[in-house]
Structure formats: structure tokens, C-alpha cells
């Protein structure tokens, strides 16, 4: 194992928590530690802006106030309620997770990381976030924001750590009595202050302990690096899948998919529809001349 710090300074922990207490974002889902509500918020917040996820979370909890209600809902209702959040597979995973929790855990969200990771759609970050926020477990949820914040404070940058070392650093840095608040605080520091390209170091509560702010840059790359151009979003398979599911949401029954959508030809549309069916987001019926789909019932 490389010679890297195993935790961050207690002073940095105290200042980050004090900063969060004073300035933390007031997002709807942060007002609860109910395990089901936390699980919903964490799955929604994956690849979705926190403020947008908070708004959708409020509507979701009104529509599906408990695991039992969600588990008994139709897949079509769940997918319609997910409209606007993107990455529709997350809705399918959440629905399946609710069914598993009701059937195998007596309707109670499991509290341990291994049991949480066994649920559909729940990966290492989500499992640790739920364990910390809902159950107060002293485990560190590591996403790209947390990795950047802790890596910069401890060693000048996340490049100094292997994934296993970073997870160990994150776990060791959790204040045991405030695991949930710490999880939210690191996210806020990463999103509001410790940004990837232009961090606002002067506003960071951990500046006095931060090696990055002190000028250390482990494994820094050349500043003038040519970036690969990204394809237009409308040309991606993700865009096409989203449009197909949106059409199915708006329909009350079977709808045909035999025409191009945007820049995607009939063959690409057919392939995407069948892939969505394999993922559980659509039901399909096919004849020699037509391909029709609807939300699953």
C-alpha cells in the first residue's frame, strides 16, 4: 500500500460540520432519516441535480408514501411517476428493491452495507449513504465529489489514493456521532466549493488543513490537454431510449414503433425498443410487419 494519509484532521471535520450546520442546503429529503425516504432520495440523486431530485422526491413520497404502496404499484405507474428524472432504469430498480424489501425483509429497509448492496440497483455509494443517513452507520459514501474533497484535503488530490485506500480514508473520516450530516456536508463542499476546475478555496471550511490549497498537486496532468469532442446528445442511444419511454408514458395503450426518431433510423429504434423490454421498462408485441410497445403492466 502506498504511503498516504489514513484520515483527515479532526479540525477539518469540525469545521466542515460547522459550515454545513450554518450554510447547508435546505433540501426536502434532508429533513428525514426514514430509511425508505432516504433510499428514494439517494437513487433519485444519482446523476440528477440535488434541487431537481428534491422536488421530484416530494411528489414521489406523496404518491408512494411507503414501501408497501410502491411494491404493490404497477410498473407503468412507477415509470410515469419517474418522468423528468431520466435514467429510467433507476425507477425499475427502485420498484424491484421495494418488492424485495417487502418480501424478504418484512418491509424494513436493511441497515447493513452488504444487505443494502444486495438490493436491485443499489451500489456501493448508495448503500453507504443510506446506512450513514438512515441508520447512523460510520461508513463513508464515496462518489466523484467526495473522492475529490477528501483526496484534496488529505493528499492534494484523489490521484494519491487507490480505490481501496480512498474507501478506507472515507470510512475513517466519518465523525461517528454525525454520520448522516457528514455525508450531506461532504456533498455540499464538493458541489459548492471544492469544484473540479475552479475550486473556491478561500470559501472552504477545510482550507487550513487542505494540502491542495497549500499547493500540492500529486499526479497533476498538463494544463493544456486536448479534450475529445462529445457527440451531440440527440445522437446518443441514451437520448433515443428516453424519447421511446416518454412516448410510452404519454400513451394509454400499445403504440407502434416503426418510424425513425430524430436522427435514429428504424433499425436503431427497433433495437432500442427491444433493449428497453429486456431491461423491464417496456412490454412489446411483434408481428411480421409491426413492433408495438407499452409501459409494463
φ and ψ at 101, to 5 degrees?
-65, -40
- Backbone φ, ψ for residue 185 (5° rounding): -65, -45
Nearest partner of 258 among 249, 267, 245, 250, judged by Cα: 267
Which of 15, 26, 42, 259 does the annotation list as catalytic? Answer: 42
Tell me if residue 216 is catalytic. no
The 8-class DSSP code of residue 264 comes to B
28 C-beta neighbours (distance < 10 Å), count? 16
CB 202 within 8 A of CB 196: no
Partners of 294 in beta bridges: 283
DSSP state of 201: G
**DSSP classification of residue 121:** T
Catalytic residues: 42
Amino acid at each position: 500500500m502506498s504511503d498516504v494519509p489514513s484520515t483527515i484532521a479532526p479540525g477539518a471535520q469540525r469545521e466542515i460540520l460547522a459550515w454545513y450546520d450554518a450554510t447547508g442546503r435546505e433540501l426536502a429529503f434532508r429533513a428525514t432519516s426514514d430509511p425508505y425516504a432516504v433510499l428514494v432520495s439517494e437513487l433519485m440523486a444519482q446523476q440528477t441535480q440535488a434541487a431537481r431530485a428534491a422536488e421530484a422526491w416530494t411528489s414521489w413520497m406523496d404518491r408512494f408514501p411507503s414501501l408497501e404502496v410502491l411494491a404493490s404499484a404497477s410498473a407503468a405507474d412507477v415509470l410515469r411517476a419517474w418522468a423528468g428524472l431520466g435514467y429510467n432504469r433507476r425507477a425499475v430498480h427502485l420498484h424491484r428493491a421495494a418488492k424485495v424489501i417487502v418480501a424478504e425483509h418484512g418491509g424494513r429497509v436493511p441497515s447493513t452495507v452488504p444487505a443494502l448492496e444486495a438490493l436491485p440497483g443499489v451500489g456501493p455509494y448508495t448503500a453507504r449513504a443510506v446506512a450513514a443517513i438512515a441508520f447512523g452507520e460510520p461508513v463513508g459514501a464515496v462518489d466523484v465529489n467526495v473522492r475529490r474533497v477528501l483526496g484534496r484535503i488529505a493528499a492534494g488530490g484523489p490521484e494519491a489514493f487507490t480505490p481501496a485506500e480512498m474507501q478506507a480514508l472515507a470510512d475513517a473520516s466519518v465523525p461517528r456521532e454525525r454520520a448522516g450530516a457528514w455525508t450531506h456536508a461532504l456533498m455540499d463542499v464538493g458541489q459548492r466549493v471544492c469544484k473540479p476546475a475552479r475550486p473556491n478555496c478561500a470559501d472552504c471550511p477545510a482550507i487550513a488543513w487542505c494540502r491542495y490549497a497549500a499547493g500540492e498537486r500529486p499526479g497533476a496532468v498538463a494544463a493544456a490537454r486536448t479534450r475529445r469532442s462529445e457527440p451531440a446528445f440527440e445522437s446518443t442511444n441514451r437520448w433515443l431510449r428516453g424519447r421511446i419511454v416518454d412516448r410510452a408514458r404519454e400513451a394509454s395503450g400499445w403504440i407502434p414503433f416503426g418510424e425513425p426518431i430524430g436522427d435514429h433510423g428504424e433499425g436503431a429504434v427497433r433495437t432500442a425498443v427491444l433493449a428497453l423490454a429486456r431491461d423491464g421498462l417496456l412490454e412489446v408485441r411483434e408481428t411480421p410487419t409491426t413492433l408495438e410497445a407499452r409501459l409494463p403492466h
